[in-house]
Chain A
Amino acid sequence: MRQASLLFLVRRLVQVVPVVLAIAAVNFFLLRMAPGDVADILAGQMGHATLEFTQQLRREFGLDQPVYMQFFYYIGKLLTLDLGRSHLQQAPVIDLILDRLPATVILMLTSILIAIAVGIVLGVAAARREGRLADTLVSVTALVVYATPAFWLGLMLIVLFSIQLDLLPSGGMYQIGAGRTGLAHALDVAKHLVLPSVTLGLFYVAIYTRLMRASMLEVYGLEFITTARAKGLSETTIAWTHALRNALLPVVTLAGVQFGHLLGGSILVETVFAWPGLGRLVFDALLQRDLNLLLGILFVSSVVVVFANLAVDLIYGLLDPRIVHK
């Protein structure tokens, strides 16, 4: 069994390379289909640029070369794990990504962990009381939260907790220029993290609650639950020990997909709370046609998606030993 899993892992890892390269190639050509390039944008920002000026920019960025040459150059560099330089920010793409990565990971991990924990508890609780008031309350609330735009929710939380009650900061990741280090810095970040992670987390809580509830109800209909009840086990034991483990599979799948999105961050929540994460970097890069930066972020996030999927497959085997990797 263990050897089979190892073989599976190695085979999947080998498959990753062509998949990731194919994604990079598709990204490259897709992004080039958008009208205008970074030289246009830069010349536009400068207001009064001459044709020579714009052409000089294109030469500087290598955009005067034929597209296929640009492509080979890009893939060649990618194979040596060089993501190139951002045209606009004039810095190595990898530095820009690594600079923003911690903020995004902290925000997304906190939100998803809140969401998974709360979502599972609420989902199981609702499923156990199917059709009763508690179930209706949980389901309706989840639906309402799911349908609420994150930026609006975020702004309302700012108005309440930051302006009216003056309890929490309205934005940013830490107090600028305070020069805190160590534990004081961590606490400062935690304080700034509350509103954005709750805003983002609530959205995910809604998803996980609904998914967990549906999945639990499905498992409750299976024969082994009837057997458990026939054995005289308590409903609590049945729910948390027998049903939950089986009902978790779709939740794990969703979590895997969302971990893949982790790198993309959440543009809306990062924008409302001025959280210096990757989501905004993607957005700005897209509007400014900063192709190298955009390709770099897409490349890194596609690698993460591929690995998250792999991890999900391996976790399946742990949750349900009947699933064997061949």
Chain B
Amino acid sequence: MKASTIFTMAAAALIAAAPLAGAGAQAPKKGGTLTYTYQPEPTAISTLATTAVPVALISTKIYDGLLEYAGPGLDPKPGLAESWTVSPDNLSYSFKLRQGVKWHDGKPLTSADVKFSIETLALNYHSRGKTYFGNVTAIETPDDRSVVVKLKAPVPYFLKAFQPSETPIMPKHAFSEQEIAEKKVRQAKVMQEPVGTGPFKMKEWKKGSHIILERNADYWKPGLPYLDQVVLRVLPDGAARAIAVEKGEVDLAPMTALPPAEIQRLGKLPSLVSSQAGSEGLGPIMWLETNLREKPLADLAVRQAISLAIDRDKLVDVIWYGMGKPARGPIVSGNPNHFNAALPKLEYNPAKANKLLDDAGYKRGPDGVRFKLPQNFLPYGEEWVRQAEYIKQELGKIGIQADIESLDMGGWLKKVFTDWTYQITSDFHHNYVDPTIGVQRAFLSTNIQKGATFNNSMGYVNPKLDELLQKAAATPDGPERKKLWDDAQKIMQDDLPVIYLIEIGYTHIWNKRVKGLITNGISMYSNWDSVWLE
């Protein structure tokens, strides 16, 4: 617990210090190669092919978003669009593109590329495209530098949609008519050989070994980027990744790219920095999904008992090596605009849990077991297994036998989201920058949909909550919307459709010689144009 507090404080301090870093004693230096490692290797270089972490990490150095963002809450600032205006009714957004921006192949960026990237690509191929652009009625391009997006209803988080990982601006001329007509955009050559407008361009991709990005000399920000090259080294073994970071062969292991035990060890080395800052815009959170379709989980008392039986502090400290903090609800406490700080902490009290189950009529059998509750876990690695074992142990103490069934990713997805045959399982979500994007999909009753992933697998229905969520989705950010989300969080904590576990912090480890890495709430998905090496 202490470790996580320190991390959070360090995070806040780093974010606060970020703007000062450039103005401090050290002036940024030009040149050098930043080598990072992440497993697995990306399968494509565009988040239109898949938004998996490794793809988002590398593609955001090559493709710009329409806007850039500042701070943990992602406040929009000019990017490819040098300015923008919003109509008073929040139904029309006009963007003015920067003059003289060129694609890596030398062709000019135009408003047609932006229209294409939103209308044809993001809307159809990005898994959150409909969430961002489902209300778009028209995109007008009055001239080469102007883009006007018209909406049929306001979208409160609309300006957050233009992150490079969410809506990368891609070149229209890189796709053939046939690829677009036959919906074979994922097979386009540009998915493997990217052409962007960002600070780095593709130099070499040796599959199974590495990717080299080199400085884009024609980048639209004069004097940037500082780095000559960004290299991804593919190191599939966790211990080998840690050794490479320790030896200085690799400068950066972002987003918990190392095994947690190694992170704890390396974090203490004087040559390395370990930080959980810079992922606030992703809001990673972990919970136990419960299948509410049958007894005993349909019984609120049972879910309350499970929640009371789990010591979240211990979970953070022992299983996750201090990387995170106990969750209080579906929204992470680091979300500056939407978290309900009045939510009480979730209590650890096995005696109370036992009493709840006794009172609800779940008597212990001769073997001390009240009932069996088969348990699955998200197959993301060793810690997830340990966590399932810990949960089994704690639930055993209150008479629930939670035997563990191990599945690989394909099997787990099918069981939880297509077949609905699980009972309880650990799961992991990103809040993203706005809860309407990342939170509502797991709790809205219209998202009980077989075959879709990471939705309301529980079969949870609460009409009052539905109403609040839908209203919040159409209300501009402000006190009124905050109140809607506060009320919604209260309901979601009382109903416990999932057992909230921990806000799992992404830990980044980098060599001290790397500077300027943490810039906003999506620092690892930013373009690193101001990162430099000492």
Contacts and interface: CB of A to CB of B under 8 A. Distances in A.
Given A40-B414, A60-B186, A177-B33, A48 B453 contact: yes
Contacts of B187: 85, 90
A99 to B, nearest CB: 6
B410 A47 contact: no
A46 B52 contact: yes
Contact of A47 (B204, B247, B414, B453): B453
Nearest to A50: B452
B50 A34 contact: no
A285 B514 CA distance: 34
A216 B131 CA distance: 72
Contact of B239 (A56, A155, A177): A155
B186 A90 contact: yes
Nearest to A95: B207
B467 interface: no
B212 interface: yes
Contacts of A176: 35, 209-210, 212, 231, 233
A228 B49 CA distance: 71
Given A171-B235, A172-B233, A44 B208 contact: no
A41 interface: yes
A55 interface: yes
Contact of A171 (B186, B207, B240, B246): B240
B249 A274 contact: no
Interface stretch (A136-144, A204-212, A275-283, A299-307): A275-283
Contacts of A34: 410-411
Interface string A68-111: 00000000000000000100111100001001100100000000
Contacts of B412: 36
A217 to B, nearest CB: 40
B1 interface: no
Contacts of B407: 35
A170 interface: yes
Contacts, number: 172
B150 to A, nearest CB: 23
B243 A170 contact: yes
Given A48-B455, A170-B244, A172-B233, 15 more contacts: A35-B407, A40-B410, A41-B410, A46-B51, A46-B127, A47-B128, A48-B437, A60-B184, A99-B208, A162-B243, A172-B210, A176-B212, A176-B231, A271-B237, A276-B209
Contacts of B430: 47
Nearest to B187: A90
Interface string A119-163: 000000000000000000000000000000001000100110011
Contact of A272 (B207, B233, B237, B429): B237
Interface residues on B, range: 35 or more
B452 A49 contact: yes
B410 A37 contact: yes
B44 interface: yes
Nearest to A55: B451
B408 interface: yes
A27 interface: no
A185 to B, nearest CB: 13
A289 interface: yes
A284 interface: yes
A271 B208 contact: no
B240 A36 contact: no
Contacts of A96: 207
A235 B51 CA distance: 68
Contact of A51 (B40, B126, B204, B450): B450
Contacts of B410: 34-37, 40-41, 287-289
Contact of B208 (A37, A43, A48, A276): A276
Interface residues of A, number: 56
A54 interface: yes
Contacts of B409: 36, 41, 44, 287-288
Given A45-B51, A173-B209, A274 B236 contact: yes
A176 B438 CA distance: 38
B77 interface: no
A91 to B, nearest CB: 7
B234 interface: yes
Contacts of B41: 284
B130 interface: yes
A203 interface: no
B212 A45 contact: no
B332 to A, nearest CB: 15
B247 A43 contact: no
A56 B411 contact: no
Contact of B413 (A44, A90, A274): A44
Interface string B143-159: 00000000000000000
B413 to A, nearest CB: 4
A162 to B, nearest CB: 7
A37 B414 CA distance: 9
A53 interface: yes
Contacts of A36: 409-414, 418
Contact of A46 (B50, B183, B229, B247): B50
Nearest to A151: B237
14 contacts: A36-B411, A36-B414, A42-B50, A46-B453, A48-B454, A49-B127, A54-B452, A88-B50, A90-B43, A90-B187, A176-B210, A274-B209, A274-B236, A287-B410
A274 B240 contact: yes
A173 B411 CA distance: 34
B441 interface: yes
A53 B127 contact: yes
B531 interface: no
Given A42-B50, A99-B207, A47 B452 contact: no
A277 B234 CA distance: 12
A273 interface: yes
Nearest to B40: A284
Contact of A53 (B35, B191, B240, B452): B452
A50 B50 CA distance: 14
Contacts of A90: 43-44, 49, 186-187, 191-192
A-B pairs, top 6 by smallest CB distance, nearest first, are: A36-B410, A276-B208, A46-B127, A45-B52, A36-B414, A35-B411
Interface string A246-283: 00000000000000000000000011111011001100
B33 A171 contact: no
B243 to A, nearest CB: 6
A55 B418 CA distance: 12
A42 B55 CA distance: 12
